[in-house]
Amino acid sequence: MGRKRNYQIYLTANIVTSFAGGVLGLSISFLSNKKAVD
């Protein structure tokens, strides 16, 4: 029971970050390229 609960919490927590995570990767790449050009 405890394992299942922990699994659900961990999955939910990572779903929250994965929403922003995909866009963040792009943003960091964009920023890196911009700085490299500058």
Partner 1 sequence: MGLLLLAQSIVAYYAGRFSDIFGRKILLILEGYSHAIVVLLFLFLIETWQLYVLQIIIGVLAGLEASAGMSFLGDITRKQTRGRDIGKYFMIVGIISSLTMMIGGYIVVAVGIKFIFIAMAVANIISSSLLLKIKENKLFFTANKALK
5 CB neighbour count, 10 Å cutoff: 9
Closest separation between CB of residue 37 and partner 1, Å? Answer: 10
Residues in contact with partner 1, shown as a per-residue x/- string from 5 to 34 under the rule CB under 8 A = xxx-xxxxxxxxxxxxxxxxxxxx-xxx--
Ordered DSSP codes for 1-38:
-HHHHHHHHHHHHHHHHHHHHHHHHHHHHHHHHHHHH-
User: Minimal distance in Å, beta carbon 8 to partner 1?
Assistant: 9
Please give the residue ranges that form the binding site for partner 1 (CB under 8 A): 2-3, 5-7, 9-28, 30-32, 35-36, 38
